[in-house]
Amino acid sequence: LRHKTDLADEVVDGIGKITDMKISAGRGSFMERLDELLGESEPKRPPLEVFSESITTKHPDKVKHLEQHGNTLLAVVDSSDKSLATEMKQHLKEQFNDIPPQLEMLDQATFETLQRLAKAGVIQFTQPVKGQIYDSKTDTNKEAKEKQRREMRYQEKLQLAEEKQRMSQLLADGGFIAEALAPLNEALNKTLAAAAIAAQIKADDPISISQISSLQNTYKLPEETTATVAILRHERKSLSEQAAIDAMASAKVVMRVINEALAAE
């Protein structure tokens, strides 16, 4: 409990110093406690939101409307396309861990006819609309919305990167230089991922060394960026203390350049 209190004071409130902590169980148990207290998982977006964004971005001219009725997802499409139906069902399976919604597809003309009949009271849907997920008619400013989605995505990455960088700095300040490299590596990877999202570059996770070259031109990153990434990913366990300190300094410069560039957008 004392360790948790001390760590919470330092990490959350900035009170006290990690070097003042009395760690009786050695580095191993301390690292486990630190990882337990500070480890953050990336927040997950609602699966239907991810599905909608993916399928409407890929097929903007085919998918006209998406709405949920109970456990049924109604998709209004431009025309009946078996390959599109197969793709949409596969996307739903990928996004839902348990049972995905039942997909029902209608063409635009049939959907409009059903809406008119329902409005006239001739027919009635047994399941009310649980939520309209997407509609091409109301989604008039797609470019602005896409930009907003990108900003939300890369801000999430930057927030996670900041947490990992703080964890790394906390370890380094406590004399745990070697242990500080792993969270710093995560922070750098997430910062680079944020930069790729902002630049609309489709990148791997984590971003590959070859893809980093594109970011170097876009953000005018230091020449040693790719070398720093490679060292932190593949060589950090074999670095001397001075080499580790140098790698940390280089990584911080890269992250600072990216953060400043994104803040200026």
Q: Which of 95, 120, 140 is the last residue of a domain?
A: 140
Backbone φ and ψ of 37, nearest 5°: -80, -35
Least confident span in 56-60, 93-97, 146-150: 146-150
Tell me which of 26 and 73 has the higher pLDDT: 73
The residues pairing with 135 across neighbouring beta strands, listed in sequence order, are 65
Q: Can you tell me whether residue 157 is helix, strand or coil?
A: helix
54 and 105 together in one domain: yes
Enumerate the H helices of 174-240 as residue ranges.
Answer: 177-198, 209-219, 225-230
Per-residue pLDDT band at 4 (split at 50, 70, 90): very low
pLDDT of amino acid 192: 97
Enumerate the H helices of 100-141 as residue ranges.
Answer: 108-119
Containing structural domain, residue 121: 47-140
pLDDT of amino acid 125: 77
153 and 224 together in one domain: yes
Provide long-range contacts, Cβ within 8 A and 24+ apart, for 197-206.
197/150, 197/153, 197/154, 197/157, 198/150, 198/151, 198/154, 198/262, 198/265, 200/150, 206/233
114 and 223 together in one domain: no
